[in-house]
């Protein structure tokens, strides 16, 4: 299990971190570095995943920047490397950061593994030659294990986050009508239940409207399923253009769509439904080169009229209102009343 890691430099005052924003992972690794500095009594500890010099400005000559450049000059080993005196070691005797500033004398490198692959290293750096004890080897290996746990933890966290996103996506997909991109029947009813409670708690009105395409059955019988559904999709698009972005629109029946409008009084819903009727009517459709006028009937209900109505009662009222509108004829609208 591999996870992306960022370059990290020791968390000392001269580390060059400044106000640079760090991730949670980087913050945890900085703690490990601080522990190592105190534990081993060295000048610095750097956990590197490659190119730690990137933390510093181009041409920066601070001690921390030079230490980072020294670490970048060394390859990640597959086994621990201990150099008691860098000046006498053939590999680093001519190293510019050994013979010149910051004059590094001692260093130790402990590889960091991820699934048996070397992905980084812990560097201990000092400016005096020193003897490395066997106990130090075990301690540094334990610190590398902590870093490896951090990588594993972040990999698990990323996997968890991906699963959460996938589950949210699947849950959302399960509530969407695949043809129209609106909420499906279950989701729009749930939206109604939520908004009834929310608006009642906020002492605000809300309205719902049910829109039904006129003569849908006849249209389907005469022109086929594909043509009738195309007309229905265009109708839905026009309905959506007439409502607010936070209003919920969902498919309730074969050609009926429910709109939930939080905060809308009976005055507002009447204006919205009139806009919907006129917008749909203003655009005729052509099927088999024949123009066809498209109209809708709409029923609506508002909680500022039915003050104590629950979601089920509101649905009963809006269905009756749509039934009355259809009975009155095409392109009709009925708002539920107490009378």
Do 248 and 331 lie in a common domain?
yes
Q: Is 3 a member of any domain?
A: no
- Total domains present in the chain: 2
Do 165 and 41 lie in a common domain?
yes
Q: Are 322 and 332 in contact (CB under 8 A)?
A: no
Do 243 and 301 lie in a common domain?
yes
Do 56 and 102 lie in a common domain?
yes
Q: Is 192 a member of any domain?
A: yes
Do 137 and 263 lie in a common domain?
no
The 10 Å Cβ neighbour count of residue 112 is: 23
CA angle 60, 63, 64 (to 5 degrees): 80
* Domain span including residue 36: 24-169
Q: Is 16 a member of any domain?
A: no
Do 163 and 273 lie in a common domain?
no
Do 191 and 325 lie in a common domain?
yes
Do 221 and 90 lie in a common domain?
no
Q: Is 174 a member of any domain?
A: no
CATH number at residue 267: 3.30.70.270
Do 229 and 269 lie in a common domain?
yes
SS3 (DSSP) at 106? strand
91 alpha carbon, distance to own chain's centre? 48
Q: Please state whether the predicted TM-score (pTM) of the whole model is above 0.85.
A: no
Q: What is the pLDDT of residue 316?
A: 96
CATH number at residue 131: 3.30.450.40
Give me the tens of pLDDT residue by residue for the chain, a chain 339 residues long: 444 444 443 333 334 333 344 566 678 888 888 888 988 889 999 998 888 888 787 777 888 899 999 999 999 999 988 899 999 999 999 999 999 999 999 999 989 898 888 888 999 999 999 887 777 778 888 888 888 777 766 655 566 566 667 666 656 667 888 888 899 999 999 999 999 999 999 999 999 999 999 988 888 888 888 888 889 999 999 999 999 999 999 999 989 999 999 999 999 999 999 999 999 998 878 877 788 889 999 999 999 999 999 999 999 999 999 999 999 999 999 999 986
Domain edge (last residue) among 140, 169, 198: 169
Task: Compute φ and ψ for 153, nearest 5 degrees.
Answer: -60, -45
Q: Is 291 a member of any domain?
A: yes
Q: Is 11 a member of any domain?
A: no
Quote the CA–CA distance of 2 and 206 in Å, as a whole number.
51
**Cα atoms in the Cβ-side hemisphere of radius 13 Å centred on 284:** 7
Residue 148 burial (C-beta neighbours within 10 Å; 0-12, 13-18, 19+): middle
């Amino acid at each position: 299990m591999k996870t992306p890691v960022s370059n990290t430099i020791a968390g000392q005052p001269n580390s060059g971190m400044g106000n640079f924003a760090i991730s949670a992972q980087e913050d945890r690794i900085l703690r490990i570095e601080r522990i190592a500095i105190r534990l081993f009594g060295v000048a610095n500890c750097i956990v590197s995943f490659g190119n730690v010099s990137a933390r510093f400005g181009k041409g920066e000559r601070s001690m921390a920047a030079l230490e980072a450049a020294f670490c970048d000059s060394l390859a990640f080993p597959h086994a621990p490397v201990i150099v008691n005196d860098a000046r006498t070691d053939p590999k680093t005797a001519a190293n510019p950061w050994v013979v010149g500033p910051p004059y590094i004398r001692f260093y130790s490198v402990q590889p960091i593994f991820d699934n048996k692959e070397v992905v980084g290293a812990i560097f201990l750096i000092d400016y005096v030659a020193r003897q490395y004890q066997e106990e130090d080897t075990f301690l540094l290996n334990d610190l590398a294990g902590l870093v490896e746990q951090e990588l594993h933890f972040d990999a698990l966290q990323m996997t968890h986050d991906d699963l959460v996103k996938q589950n949210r996506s699947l849950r959302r997909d399960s509530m969407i009508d695949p043809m129209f991109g609106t909420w499906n029947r279950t989701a729009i009813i749930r939206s109604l239940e939520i908004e009834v409670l929310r608006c009642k708690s906020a002492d605000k009105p809300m309205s719902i409207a049910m829109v039904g395409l006129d003569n849908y059955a006849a249209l389907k019988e005469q022109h086929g399923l594909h043509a009738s559904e195309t007309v229905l999709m265009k109708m839905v698009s026009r309905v959506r253009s007439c409502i607010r972005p936070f209003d919920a629109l969902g498919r309730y029946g074969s050609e009926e769509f429910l709109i939930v409008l939080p905060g809308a009084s009976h005055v507002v819903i009447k204006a919205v439904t009139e806009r919907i009727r006129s917008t749909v009517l203003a655009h005729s459709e052509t099927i088999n080169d024949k123009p066809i006028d498209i109209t809708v009937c709409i029923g609506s209900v508002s909680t500022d009229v039915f003050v104590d109505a629950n979601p089920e009662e509101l649905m009963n009222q809006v269905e009756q209102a749509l039934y009355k509108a259809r009975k009155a004829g095409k392109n009709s609208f009925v708002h539920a009343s107490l009378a």
